[in-house]
Amino acid sequence: MAGNEYKANDIEVLEGLDAVRVRPGMYIGTTGAKGMHHLLWEIVDNAVDEVVNGFGDTVEVTIFEDNSASVFDNGRGIPVDVHPKMKISGVEVVFTLLHAGAKFNNDNYIFSGGLHGVGASVTNALSEWLLVEIHKNGKLYRQEFHSPEIDGKIKSGIKKSDIICVKNTDKKGTYVKFLPDKRVFFDEKFQIEIISKRLREIAFLNKGIKIILTDRRVRQDDEFKVYEYHYAGGLRDFVVFLNDAKEPLYAEPVFIEDKTEKFRMSLSFQHTDGYTESVFSYVNNIPTTEGGTHETGFKSALTKVLNDAARKKGVLKEKDANLQGEDFREGITAVLAVSMQNVQFEGQTKTKLGNVEVKGIVENLVSARLEEYFSDNKNRPVLDKILSKAILAAKVREASRLAKEVARQKNSMSNSNLVGKLSACTGRNYAVNELFIVEGDSAGGSAKQGRDRTFQAILPLRGKPLNAEKKRLDQILANVEIRSIISALGAGILDDYCQKDLKYDKVIILADADQDGAHIRSILLTFFFRYMKELITDGHVYIGMPPLYKITRKDSVQYAYNDEELNSVLKEIGKASYQLQRYKGLGEMNPEQLWETTMDPKTRSLTRVGIEDAADAEKIVTVLMGDAVEPRKRYIYEYADFNKTTLFDKLK
């Protein structure tokens, strides 16, 4: 039998960077758009590390027509001399060897975002070609790498030429240009929206840094589209930006900063007249979307300092209990950034800080600086407004607590929300069960009849849920539809949310492809984002994608989910006769059609909802779902396509 013998020559040894190409997911997570952008972030992180450690002030990023990208920083330039141990140039070490870099000790970088020393080499390994130019010591040096196919095998990121001195130069810094390999990423393209949001965020976090982004694929007034990010106010400007569509309680955000020999902390926050808490934290420029010990330290300090201030001012009497942290954080928008050494993230995704000692460090620094800030007479009006809002929040808290009791899955009170509404599935394997939240009784009826009841549950909405962006928690949980959703999911909300109690692996929003359907999707996603964020970040929320078109011929029925698919079907049909129907709603489908097109795991199309950038998601939710009209108008005019016509319109 083949394969019975197992000898040393059966062991394949992957040389150089070949292992990266064989298992790219181990290094960049995915070979989709997110993974391809990761190649750019690795080079950008290195450039930013040079600048924020005081060796430069500018980073320039360019996206080219062929989907290549370049990054330039005016820092010291990668070393070009020969590495004493490896006997090759420093440039070749950085771009061809995994786990090689200057960030494992703190001699060259006090703080750095690129922590693992694989960034530049991984970008090289997964590129068709990569060019490096170093401006250093009055000379311009150049080296090229590529990934050719040799004897039927791709050699990843090998040098195309030795490093050479090209000419004299009066510049300093590093220029890296690369082309993501289509053999890895296929037709993925760099998305300027993703890139610009991340670069803007970096500029906010690093006061004074200048970041210039050029998109050479787009021209405006016969010039390439250029974005420039430079914020003298740093985190203050970040908070103002995030609160653009909100009504602040006081004009200027609070800003404090402090540092020790190996730790640096910056914090800015501002309260608004809203009810939701928005705290964003970063470690060495890396977003920590799941929080961590630095956030815990900040929240503890804020609660302690404000309770002490409330007692000193007589807002809280001796017999009164302390206010809770959530009272002081109602309506807050806060950005916390720390820079530190020996970072320990929980999980491979770098989303939660785990260093235990950081809680105490941040708590002490924030407490000292906030006490100093609020003791200044000119800041007393800010303190008064914060305390007034917190007192009101505390008065409402009891009503909210009672409402949250309804939200917890307890005995018959929770189950009563679902009587006559939820069509449960018979299976009890929560790892495969699905909940379809369906718009309207008509579509709900078809979904109930068409589903596979062993693992698919149906919850029809009989009215629009309340917009969670505009109401207090007690008002939101008084809404019948919201209570039904929480009861069906079984995991609770806010601090009570418990992943292991979640009854469904997939929560699928199924709404019509019209304005009302889009509004319902927005309302549901806003509620999940504000009160069950882990449901989204853990990948449980999906948008069902029903077909837009039904094409009927005498011998067959086909469905198209968008104009591109419709165009493809019509080309295939040619001049043959057919009937074309554009679905206006899910209720137009019978159970068999709904199952075949939208619910059958073998044939359906789902879009998973994720949060690439928590701060940007916060901004968009506030703009689109909040009360402020002007920011919403600006956003719609910038991103909406008012002239869009569908293929169906053209065929009519």
CA terminus-to-terminus distance, the chain: 64
Domain boundaries in the chain? 18-229, 235-403, 408-546+607-611
Own/partner long-range contacts of 143-147 (Cβ < 8 Å, ≥24 apart): 143/89, 143/91, 143/92, 143/95, 145/95, 145/96, 147/21, 147/181
User: Among residues 434, 444, 558, 431, which one has the least CA distance to residue 500?
Assistant: 431
Which of 108-112, 326-330, 437-441 is most confident?
Answer: 326-330
- Give the residue among 55, 44, 49, 336 at the shortest CA–CA distance from 196: 44
Instruction: Give residue 401's pLDDT band: very low, low, confident or very high (50, 70, 90).
Output: low
CATH architecture for the domain at 408-546+607-611: 3-Layer(aba) Sandwich (3.40)
Contact 469, 529 (CB under 8 A): no
Q: How far apart are CA 249 and CA 385, in angstroms?
A: 7
- Give residue 104's pLDDT: 41
- Alpha carbon dihedral 508, 611, 196, 156, in 10-degree steps, equals -90
Answer yes or no: is pLDDT of 509 > 50.
yes
- 348 pLDDT exceeds 60? no
- Among the residue ranges 71-85, 371-385, 447-461, 616-630, the one predicted with the least confidence is 616-630
Q: What is the pLDDT of residue 99?
A: 62
The CATH superfamily assigned to 18-229 is Histidine kinase-like ATPase, C-terminal domain (3.30.565.10)
Under 8 Å between Cβ of 408 and 480: no
Closest CA to 506 of 476, 542, 479: 542
**Structure tokens, 319:** 């017999």
Top-level CATH class of 235-403? alpha beta
- Residue 628: which of 501, 422, 470 has the closest Cα? 470
Q: At what angle do helices 380-407 and 357-375 cross, to 10 degrees?
A: 130
Average pLDDT, the chain: 84
629 confidence band (pLDDT: 50, 70, 90):
low
Tell me, what's the pLDDT at 14? 45
439 counts as catalytic? yes
β-bridge pairing 541-544 and 506-510: parallel
> Which of 77-81, 330-334, 490-494: highest mean pLDDT?
330-334
Question: 116-137 burial by CB neighbour count: b if 16+ within 10 A, else e?
Answer: ebbbbbbbbbbbbbbbbbbbbe
**Residue recorded with tokens 């396509």:** 641
The answer to whether the CB of 36 falls within 8 A of the CB of 68 is no
- Provide, rounded to the nearest whole percent, the portion of the chain with pLDDT above 70: 84
Q: For residue 608, give both structure tokens.
A: 């998973």
The whole-number pLDDT of residue 557 equals 85
> Of 273, 405, 514, 592, which one is the catalytic site residue?
514
Q: Which of 66, 357, 516, 538 is catalytic?
A: 516
User: pLDDT-based confidence at 12, cuts 50/70/90?
Assistant: very low
**125: CB partners within 8 A, 6+ apart:** 17, 18, 20, 21, 147, 156, 157
Catalytic residue among 50, 60, 181, 439: 439
d(CA 497, CA 529): 13
Return d(Cα 39, Cα 121) in angstroms, integer: 10
Q: What does the alpha-carbon distance between residue 250 and residue 255 come to, in Å, rounded to a whole number? A: 13
Gap between the Cα atoms of 147 and 596, Å rounded: 43
pLDDT of residue 652: 54
Residues 599 and 443: their CA atoms lie apart, in Å, by 12
More confident site: 192 or 114: 192
Cα distances (Å, whole numbers) of residue 17 to 170, 328, 371, 405 = 34, 51, 53, 55
Question: How long a stretch of residues is the chain?
Answer: 652
Of 118-122, 282-286, 479-483, 600-604, least confident by mean pLDDT is 118-122
Handedness of CA 182, 186, 189, 190 (dihedral sign): negative
Count other C-beta atoms under 10 Å from residue 399's C-beta: 15
555 part of the active site: no
Who has greater pLDDT, 399 or 249? 249
Structure confidence at residue 9 (pLDDT) = 43
pLDDT band, residue 530 (cuts 50/70/90) = confident
pLDDT digits (tens, 9 = 90+) for 167-178: 999 999 999 999
Q: How confident is the model at residue 420 (pLDDT cuts 50, 70, 90)?
A: low
Confidence (pLDDT) at 577: 84
| CA pseudo-torsion sign 374, 375, 381, 383 | positive
Which residue in this structure is represented by tokens 């009989």? Answer: 462
Does the pLDDT at position 125 exceed 60?
yes
Give which of 385, 338, 382 is closest to 363, Cα–Cα: 338
Q: What is the pLDDT of residues 213-266, one digit of tens each?
A: 999 998 877 889 999 999 999 999 999 999 988 899 999 999 999 998 889 999
Q: What is the pLDDT of residue 1?
A: 42
Residue of 150, 185, 258 lying closest to 34 (CA atoms): 185
The answer to whether residue 237 is catalytic is no
Task: Considering the candidates 512, 565, 596, 618, report the single residue annotated as catalytic.
Answer: 512
- Amino acid in the structure at residue 102: A
Alpha helix segments (H runs only) across 322-430: 325-329, 357-375, 380-407, 411-415
What's the whole-number mean pLDDT along residues 120-144?
Answer: 94
pTM: 0.73
DSSP codes, 586-643: GGGS-HHHHIIIII-TTT--EEE---S-HHHHHHHHHHHHSS-HHHHHHHHHHH--TT
User: pLDDT tens for residues 280-313?
Assistant: 999 988 888 889 999 999 999 999 999 999 999 9
The stretch 402-426 carries a mean pLDDT of 60
Mean pLDDT over 139-167 rounds to 92
d(CA 79, CA 3): 48
Helix axes 629-639, 614-625, angle to 10 degrees: 110
